[in-house]
Each structure stands twice: as C-alpha cells, then as structure tokens.
Amino acid sequence: MTYIINVLASFSVILNTLTGGSYRNTFSARTGAAARHEKKWAVIVEKLINLIPIFSKNHCELEAINEGLLKD
C-alpha cells in the first residue's frame, strides 16, 4: 500500500509542476492553500478532489498544512 501512495503522490507533484506549481508540493496542497485564499479555480478543484472516496473530507487543506503551505 505504501508503494501505491508514493506513486500517487509522485503523480500529484508532476501534475502540480505541469500546472505552474512548485516541484516541492503536491497538487492537493497547492489547491488547499489557494482555496484558503479564495482563488476561484482552487475552490472548485478542492471540492472535486475532496469528493474522491479514498481522501478525507478536507484532504486538500490537510495536505497544505502538512506541506507547510498553511498554518493550522
């Protein structure tokens, strides 16, 4: 299971980089931080990501905190 999580995280970092984000963060973390700052695109994407059953209800925000983009 750890392998699968690592592969998914790698894809998230690649997606984040390809869409203009830092190579040091996941797409979920960037989305969570941008949604907190009320960026329109991020609010919509955050709602979609948080609907994915394997993620928690506030996955993006938690990832942004975990990766240091937001304070608790």
In tens, the pLDDT along 9-66 reads 999 999 999 999 999 999 999 999 999 999 999 999 999 998 998 888 999 999 999 9
How many angstroms separate the CA atoms of 5 and 68, rounded?
Answer: 20
Rounded (10°) angle between helices 40-50 and 59-66 = 110
- Which contiguous run of DSSP H or E holds residue 44? helix 40-50
Assess if residue 12 is contained within a domain. Answer: yes
Assess if residue 17 is contained within a domain. Answer: yes
Q: Please provide the size of the chain in residues.
A: 72
The model's pTM is 0.90
Percent of residues in the chain assigned helix, strand, coil, to nearest 5: 65, 0, 35
Total domain count for the chain? 1
Assess if residue 32 is contained within a domain. Answer: yes
Q: Tokens standing for 68?
A: 């240091």
